[in-house]
Amino acid sequence: MGRGQAFTDHRETEVVKTTTRTTVKPLSSSRETGWMWQARYLPLIILTVLFAGVLAALIGISVLLAQTTAKLNTCNAARPQGVTAAPTVTVGPTGPPVEPEEKLIYRLSEANEGILPTHYDLILQIHVPVTSAADEPIPVADRFTTKGSSVAITLRTTKANVTTITLHARHDVPEGSQSGHLQKFKEGAVTVTEKPISTKSKTIPVTSVEYLKADIIVIHLGEALTATTENVTVEYSLKFEFEGFIGDDNEGLYRSQYKKGSDTKYLVTSHFQAYKARRAFPCFDEPGIRSTFTTTLRYPATFLMTRTNTAEVRPAQNWVAPNGTVLWKESVFERTKPMPVYLNAFLVSSADDFKANTVESDLNTPPLPISVIGNADIIAHGAYALAQSQAIMKELAKVYQEPYDWPKLDMVGVPDYNAGATENWGLVVYRESSLMYEPGVSTADQKRGVSAIVSHELSHMIFGNLLTTEWWGDVWLNEGFASYIEYRLMEAANPNWGTASNFSIF
């Protein structure tokens, strides 16, 4: 040790200089020194303990993962080549049975690569009594069903080796549900036949029908469909014989009711947007898939006020039901233009209670019949909507130079409807209160509301019907355009309102 240096311990010190040497004097007592030491090293101790805990957890997870992988490898090694294990129910160590995860299909385009439906031949048999009276002739077991209905879907495929067809049918509902749905198909109720249909037509065997979540059904075929090529078109008829339930929840094909005196009376109508057509019949229920439709309605003869998207081919004819106990009528309607399935619409109602006011619009040549249909007690209140629709359709054709080339335009008001209205081509369905205006009783705001909703729905004839988004996630485009254009149409139909002054740019 050199001159002037001194030994020190780990504690804080005070240096005291003398003339001959330097000494070191501790500042604190031994108790104070221990407390200071703990304060300095306590964070380090805590971090060390935490690190050890995390390390132990990682080691445990690694061991469990290794054991699980080993078990899976053992199972896979024992499974024969080319065989897929069937779904099984596994039981946890302490809990109830755990179902295996079911495969989910949300987009038909993902499951049906190459399959294109081109046409539907739909027969809907409506077992709904006119009133709730107990003496109605329709058997109780058949009431509010579509028993005896069928649909034949014409389709083709551009891909080879197609052995499954995936489409929609609502089949999974809670017990006792009053919403529209279809019964599971009986054996032999699903057939696939090569077109044109004849005694020599080739039948493709259907081996099974698989029912999945999200209203998906998969038709499994015993042999592959023949693909359509540039030179040869091969079409098939996929036919379903089905029975559905006509619900009362204002969705799908449903029954609405109203009072006539002391009687409760029924009508049948539909609300398919956005994805409710599958409740009424098996279909490819996506907005980006377009087909044509030919519809036949069979119904008790006491109804007689029937409508779909197109005009009747001929006046309603008598039809004899298989049980022969009810007098039925049959109406056959013209083929539609290509459209998404959700734009189909139906009305079956009493001719005594529901009436139509019709004008022949000079919008087209020959004249276009435009009608307002509603309860006979208030049908006169539809005159304003009828006048508005003529002016609106003229402005729409003038602005966009796109003719309305359907054979008719019906606007029907029904008592029960979830939406304000739906823009079905040829048959726009409204909530009754949204379509009717009574001069001297209804307010100015109600009058403006009728004009607005008629303008909005008729603008959908272009933005939504003629131009349709591929998927529901983009439906805001339809609604956005229609919500803007409705103001321009209102301005044309009611120039004294100054609707354009609500906008800086119009």
Just list the catalytic residues.
457
Cβ atoms of 339 and 349 within 8 Å: the answer is: no
Please state, in angstroms and rounded to a whole number, the distance separating the CA atoms of residues 122 and 281. 8
Nearest to 131 by CA among 269, 307, 323, 260: 260
**Which parts of 179-313 are beta strand (E)?**
181-182, 190-194, 203-204, 206-212, 216-225, 236-242, 244-245, 252-260, 263-271, 290-300, 304-307
Q: Which DSSP letter does residue 127 get?
A: B
Contact partners, residue 431, CB within 8 Å, separation at least 6 = 413, 414, 417, 419, 420, 421
Please report, for residues 222, 365, 424, the alpha-carbon distance to residue 406 in angstroms, rounded to integers and kept in the order given.
41, 11, 12
Q: For the CA atoms of the chain, what is the radius of gyration?
A: 36
Nearest to 352 by CA among 306, 302, 312, 316: 302
Tokens coding 185: 């198909």
Tell me which amino acid residue 448 is.
Answer: R
Tokens coding 74: 């053992």
DSSP string, 18-62: -SS-EEEEE-S-HHHHHHHHHHHHHHHHHHHHHHHHHHHHHHHHH
Cβ atoms of 206 and 221 within 8 Å: the answer is: yes
Cβ atoms of 428 and 412 within 8 Å: the answer is: yes
Please state, in angstroms and rounded to a whole number, the distance separating the CA atoms of residues 9 and 124. 101
Residue with tokens 């294109």: 116
Say how far residue 169 (Cα) sits from the centre of its chain: 11
Q: What is the largest CA-CA distance in the chain?
A: 135
Cβ atoms of 395 and 492 within 8 Å: the answer is: yes
What is the 3 state secondary structure string of 217-250? Answer: EEEEEEEEECCCCCCCCCCEEEEEEECEECECCC
Q: What are phi and psi of 457, to 5 degrees?
A: -65, -40
Q: Which residues pair with 259 in a beta bridge?
A: 264
The residue count for the chain? 506
